[in-house]
Amino acid sequence: MTDKADKTRQRILENAKTEFLGKGFSGASLRTIAKNAGVTTGALYGLFSSKDDLFEALVGEHASFFLKEFSEAQDTFASLAPGVQVDTMHANSNSVLEKLLDYMFDHITAFRLLLSCSAGSRYELWLERLITIEEESAKNFMAVLKSQGRQTENLSDEIIHMLSGSFLHGVMENVVHEMPRTRAVENIRMLQKYATAGWNALLGLD
């Protein structure tokens, strides 16, 4: 890509960011983005094949990285010996979340787009994918506890989904509402305390 084409691409991306943040994916206009970037609609299509392609250029790398890191953290935890899982569950969760929270705040605009502006795009179910990973991790951990003879509540798939979803939605509220980073870290720690008490009660870990 030539220097001129690269500068044009960056102008388009900056204006797309503003348009998507203001109107959401569904309401955003490629014509408006092109006009504000000082290019023709044809020139925009020469660099981005569709509105989805343009949105992906803004969020795709960060969405994929977060999913990968979140999933790998769950896999690493699941590979630990059962006793180690029980002893380190909450500390492990805190460490992973604070690391990923830092990543979100380092790329705050991309995550605001993902969480608040992605309806209608291929990324609109991004958070649901995270929730599914969290659900599977919870089910795996419950199986570990049962294999050790621990008595746990018989939780339905529905309640596990609700608990996983409410927790992750709570985490993401820090980005949606643009909390200062230090405040977000405090919020995450409080949310973790709340979630820990609930899970301990349900899983017999009091």
Show the domain range for 125.
59-203
Per-residue pLDDT at 52: 98
Q: Based on the domain organization, do 43 and 14 belong to the same domain?
A: yes
Per-residue pLDDT at 87: 78
In a domain? residue 66: yes
Per-residue pLDDT reduced to its tens digit, 154-171: 899 999 999 999 999 999
What CATH number is given to the structural domain containing 22? 1.10.10.60
Q: What is the pTM of this model?
A: 0.91
DSSP labels for the chain?
A: --HHHHHHHHHHHHHHHHHHHHHHHHH--HHHHHHHHTS-HHHHHHH-SSHHHHHHHHHHHHHHHHHHHHHHHHHHHHTS-HHHHHHHHHHHHHHHHHHHHHHHHHTHHHHHHHHHS-TTSTTTTHHHHHHHHHHHHHHHHHHHHHHTT-------HHHHHHHHHHHHHHHHHHHHTT--HHHHHHHHHHHHHHHHHHHHHHHT--
Q: Based on the domain organization, do 90 and 166 belong to the same domain?
A: yes
Q: How many domains does the chain have?
A: 2
Per-residue pLDDT reduced to its tens digit, 102-150: 999 999 999 999 999 999 999 999 999 999 999 999 999 889 888 888 8
pLDDT band with cut points at 50, 70 and 90 for residue 1: low
Per-residue pLDDT at 134: 94
